A and B are shown apart, each in its own frame.
Chain A
Amino acid sequence: MRKPNLVWRLLAILAVFSLIVAACGDDDEGTGETTTAAPTTTEAPTTTAAPTTTTTTTLPEPEGQAPVEGAAMSVTYNIHPDATWSDGVAVTAADFAFSHEIIMNPDLDILSREGNNKIINWEIIDDKTIRFDFGEVYAPWQTLWATTGILPEHELDGKDFDSYWDEQITLGSGPFIFKEWVKDQQIVLERNPNYWRDTFVDGTPVGDVQTIIIPFLEDSQTQVQALRGREIDMFYPQPQLDLVEQVAGIEGVTSEAGLGPVWEHFDFNHSDPLLSQTFIRQAIAKGIDRAAIVEAIIQPLAPAAVPLNNSIWMNGTAFYQDHFSQFDYDPVGAEALLTDNGCAKGGDGVYECGGERLSFTWTTTAGNEARELQFEIAQQQLAQIGIEVTPKFGPASEVFADENFYGDNSAWQVFNFAWVGSPDPAGSNTLYYCEGDAPNGFGSINNLRYCDEEVDALIRSTDGLVDPAARAAAYNEADEMWLAEVPLIPMYQKPTFFAWYTDIVGPADNATQVGPMWNVEAWTGAEQIVFGADQQPDSLNQYTPDGNLFAATLVAGAVQQGAYTILPDFSYVPNLIESADVTLYEE
């Protein structure tokens, strides 16, 4: 990864300092609490300089009064004055408003409306300024249009959005434009001749890559051989040990392993009479050597990987705190917990508590080597402390079916899978909710059937905390309380793996949803690049439910731009906008 020079570092420090001063100072214009969208680049370890384009602007709202009835918060986007679409038309406030209207159109199949569904009003201030008014304070407002692009009104208005961009992206604001999708073969992108920026958001000058070809090849061994024979220049496969070793042996190829917001965990079903008892869950946690599992399965792929000790903030990010190492491997302590609570070992070496054997089914996705291996390790370790687990594996379509996933202890007892998180944790809040629209009656992703009212209240409060530090503190307080009860065992962040030929300069892993194209405009060293993707997308439209396959992410990353983008350190930086201002209103 390129390291910023001294000038950029100083500019970054100056920019962030000015933002902190602005955020902490009295706000004469706003009525409530005003916080400028300060990127968090200084709070997380990063080698990328903060953008210098973020500035504070004055909001036009009258003092002491919300712009519309019921508004609790406004976000005003100041669109970059140079931002244009690939046809040369300026990106305007109307495009932002149109994007919101598309997302909220109930007749369209939009994958997520989160955040947009809290907007009660919008107003175009001028061509390059738009204000969105929220009916409630929405702290994760930066997540709006960070992983999905702003849509061009003049191109899409009147078209059937559900289908028009399925097989083509006719217009974009990114450094590349979509050229063609030859079905079953490849997608071709070309340099955007009207690209509006001279540098990437971190100041790196734009590169000279003219064409990107994305062919589809699923088998990992084929990917390796294709890379070895330079039929492809780079790929981003699911990391496996033998694949990583083979790539390391290819001359001229370098690779990077990243740790993203996808985290593996062992869940407990709290409808189970035994697993609903805290000391049993704690004993299981202490009986599993997470460090050994990480060392055996993950570190060969990503040497920096360590057990995850927080269920909300990922390791290495600004707000990460250790809340789970208290349950590090301690087999003696685990057995002590059991015996202290009246459990006794049966003749077969398995403990019985209240006459019930500590024997549980262990569900995971069949055919996943890493999960089967970590089950075997956990099974052996738990057997040593007198707890039995037996496999109950099944295909993903079966184990994640509602009837099983949200089922009671007759469906599953211990369940190993991974949550696909996000740099901003708000999307996973419902995991902690005691009530919600999940088939089991809990929060929509609370398959655990675990409820802690205090944690629930704390997590719900975070949506109203715009101040990043206060919000993070609330999250961490909730996480500490939650993990102390061991409703699940957080294991580790799943690594990503990115390999490319070193004559191409600029690629670097970004393990967030933005993906490896995050800085594609800065790549140099080749006129044409072939980026092997695992499979053909169903749709190129990232807004729709079937537009989330990897190849579609690659296309979107190069062709479309959102208000913000996310850097590898999980920080949000302005992309299509110059800055954004948040205003909170008194009730």
Chain B
Amino acid sequence: MLIFFGMSLVTDPISQIRLVPDVSQQTIQNIVDRKHLDDPVIVQYGFWLKDVFTNQFGTTMLGDKPIWPDLSRAMWQTAQLVLVAEFIAVAIAIVLGVLAAKKQYSFFDYATTTISFFGFSVPIFWFALILQWLTVSLFLATGFRLAYTFGLSSPDPANWFIDRLQHMILPVTALAYVSIAQYSRYMRSSMLDVLHSDYVRTAKAKGLSDRTVTMKHALRNALIPLVTVVALNVGALLGGVVITETIFAWPGMGKLFITALARAELYTLMAWMLVAGVIIIVFNLLADILYAALDPRIRYE
């Protein structure tokens, strides 16, 4: 409600056509009437709320187009990107974190630390542009197109799956790299805590193999904080990875948000915020459930 009121007060949702010099005043009035723009903001909010529950978030301001089809497509497209990137990131981060912890203060540990901090500090837009430049340079040098620099897929691709993969490589790499940097640090830190705990020492004293101790006793417990971080992170990312989606022209939630904001499309923005908020709440809940599943003490308490 606060956002609706704030947006309504500082923006004119039909300003972009008001400035068309010979715009039809009749059409402006049609839009004003249809969207109740002459009514108090609280009344407009009421109509919006009604649309949310009875009309799938209603329609856009200028074109009177249904919002839900665009929003649902954007959600699915962001989900593809984020879930693939996060799956890869988690898999790599676990391996890196475990190995770095096992080989603490080794060259490998220092190398992963350096790469992680690079990932933390490099702006994702710069990294994304470098990826594009490298890919195009590779294509120009060899004639081999490893990946496309933008979009979801090519028109009439020979193989839909390979084509989609070629379009996903760059945005997934950009997203995954940042996540790997973050998750591998969590994993290393968590693994070190566990490896120095009494029960791991006991397991080793019992003569269990190093592999068994690491994989069966240490890893499961070390994963607990990572699972929480990943669940929260995925929830936030599903709301839209604005920069990555904009640079790679990936038509997801982030792109939808930016476009709606630029056009002052109040109703699309409100729908986006509602959906993004629900996603974050759901993934917070999921994090709690997973936490309980992985740590029996939580359930007992």
Establish whether residues A229 and B65, one from each chain, have CB atoms under 8 Å apart when the complex forms: no
When A184-B251, A222-B247, A229-B136 are in contact, do A162 and B64 touch as well, CB less than 8 Å?
A: yes
Establish whether residues A225 and B21, one from each chain, have CB atoms under 8 Å apart when the complex forms: no
When A217-B249, A437-B25 are in contact, do A400 and B150 touch as well, CB less than 8 Å?
A: no
Interface residues on A, range: 35 or more
Contact of A112 among B14, B22, B133, B153 (CB under 8 A): B22
Contact of B249 among A213, A218, A445 (CB under 8 A): A218
B14 partner residues in chain A, CB cutoff 8 A: 545
Check: B267 CB closer than 8 A to any chain A CB: no
Q: Which of A513-565 contact B (CB under 8 A)?
A: 535-536, 538-539, 544-547
Establish whether residues A419 and B21, one from each chain, have CB atoms under 8 Å apart when the complex forms: yes
| Tally of B interface residues using CB under 8 Å | 53
Listed stretches A103-111, A124-132, A149-157; interface member: A103-111
Establish whether residues A228 and B153, one from each chain, have CB atoms under 8 Å apart when the complex forms: no
Contact of B150 among A222, A428, A535 (CB under 8 A): A222
Residue of B20, B21, B63, B153 with most partner-chain A CB within 10 A? B21
A217 partner residues in chain B, CB cutoff 8 A: 150-151, 249
A13 partner residues in chain B, CB cutoff 8 A: none
Closest B residue to A439 by CB, please name it: B18
Check: A326 CB closer than 8 A to any chain B CB: no
Check: B148 CB closer than 8 A to any chain A CB: yes
In the complex, per-residue mask of A469-505: 1 if CB is within 8 Å of any chain B CB, else 0 = 0000000000000000000000000000000000000
B152 partner residues in chain A, CB cutoff 8 A: 184-185
A395 CA / B24 CA spacing, docked (Å): 25
Establish whether residues A222 and B248, one from each chain, have CB atoms under 8 Å apart when the complex forms: yes
Establish whether residues A166 and B63, one from each chain, have CB atoms under 8 Å apart when the complex forms: yes
A428 CA / B21 CA spacing, docked (Å): 6
Establish whether residues B23 and A228, one from each chain, have CB atoms under 8 Å apart when the complex forms: no
A113 partner residues in chain B, CB cutoff 8 A: 24, 26-27
Residue of A229, A398, A400 with most partner-chain B CB within 10 A? A229
When A221-B247, A229-B139 are in contact, do A430 and B24 touch as well, CB less than 8 Å?
A: no
Establish whether residues A401 and B12, one from each chain, have CB atoms under 8 Å apart when the complex forms: yes
B30 partner residues in chain A, CB cutoff 8 A: 106-107, 109
CB distance from B242 to the nearest CB of A (A): 11
A113 CA / B22 CA spacing, docked (Å): 8
Q: Which of B137-194 contact A (CB under 8 A)?
A: 139-140, 145, 148-153, 155
A444 partner residues in chain B, CB cutoff 8 A: 21, 25
A441 CA / B31 CA spacing, docked (Å): 21
Establish whether residues A427 and B148, one from each chain, have CB atoms under 8 Å apart when the complex forms: no
Contact of B31 among A218, A405, A422, A545 (CB under 8 A): A545
Q: Which of A227-286 contact B (CB under 8 A)?
A: 228-229, 231
Check: B1 CB closer than 8 A to any chain A CB: no
CB distance from B150 to the nearest CB of A (A): 4
B145 partner residues in chain A, CB cutoff 8 A: 229
When A111-B23, A112-B22, A166-B63 are in contact, do A219 and B246 touch as well, CB less than 8 Å?
A: yes
CB distance from A245 to the nearest CB of B (A): 15
B49 partner residues in chain A, CB cutoff 8 A: none
A183 CA / B152 CA spacing, docked (Å): 10
Establish whether residues B155 and A182, one from each chain, have CB atoms under 8 Å apart when the complex forms: yes
CB distance from B136 to the nearest CB of A (A): 4
A539 CA / B60 CA spacing, docked (Å): 12
Check: A186 CB closer than 8 A to any chain B CB: yes
A109 partner residues in chain B, CB cutoff 8 A: 27, 30-31, 62-64
Residue of A162, A544, A545 with most partner-chain B CB within 10 A? A545
CB distance from B17 to the nearest CB of A (A): 5
Check: A123 CB closer than 8 A to any chain B CB: no
A219 partner residues in chain B, CB cutoff 8 A: 246-247, 249
When A184-B77, A397-B15 are in contact, do A231 and B150 touch as well, CB less than 8 Å?
A: yes
Establish whether residues B73 and A184, one from each chain, have CB atoms under 8 Å apart when the complex forms: yes
A534 CA / B4 CA spacing, docked (Å): 28
Establish whether residues B62 and A546, one from each chain, have CB atoms under 8 Å apart when the complex forms: yes
Extra pairs beyond A188-B155, A403-B12, A422-B21 (10, CB < 8 Å): A225-B133, A228-B136, A229-B140, A229-B149, A401-B15, A402-B18, A427-B22, A444-B25, A538-B62, A546-B60
19 pairs, A vs B, C-beta closer than 8 Å: A106-B26, A109-B27, A109-B62, A185-B151, A218-B246, A218-B249, A221-B247, A222-B149, A222-B247, A231-B149, A231-B150, A396-B15, A397-B15, A401-B15, A402-B15, A402-B18, A427-B22, A445-B21, A538-B62
